[in-house]
Amino acid sequence: MSWMMLFLAGLFEIAWAIGLKYTEGFTRLWPSIGTGAAMVVSIYLLSMATRQLPIGTAYAVWTGIGAVGAVLLGIVLFGESAAPLRLLCVALIVAGILGLKMTSGA
């Protein structure tokens, strides 16, 4: 259950990271409220996951999910670079997340 909470926390981290772009520096009300809510939910779920998972593992996986999701959605939504070297780096992050999951005792 803790891994599911951590995965959901990572999805909410993606939401708030992408939401930041839409807030335009927190000058737009509804995107700012949505982004703030996603931040709160993400941190809450992360804190619940750390009850069972080591903090280093949970934090690294949480930020990794957020980073990968933000890069991929940046490519899709904002036309950011999909250069092969950039995608290779994203693949390395995914490999690190999977490695942490496989070597975690929880």
Mean pLDDT of 43-62: 96
Cα angle: 68, vertex 104, 17; to 5 degrees: 25
Residue 37 pLDDT > 90, yes or no? Answer: yes
Contact between 62 and 39 under an 8 Å Cβ cutoff? The reply is no
Q: Does residue 72 surpass a pLDDT of 80?
A: yes
The residues spanned by each domain of the chain are 1-104
Q: State if pTM tops 0.85.
A: yes
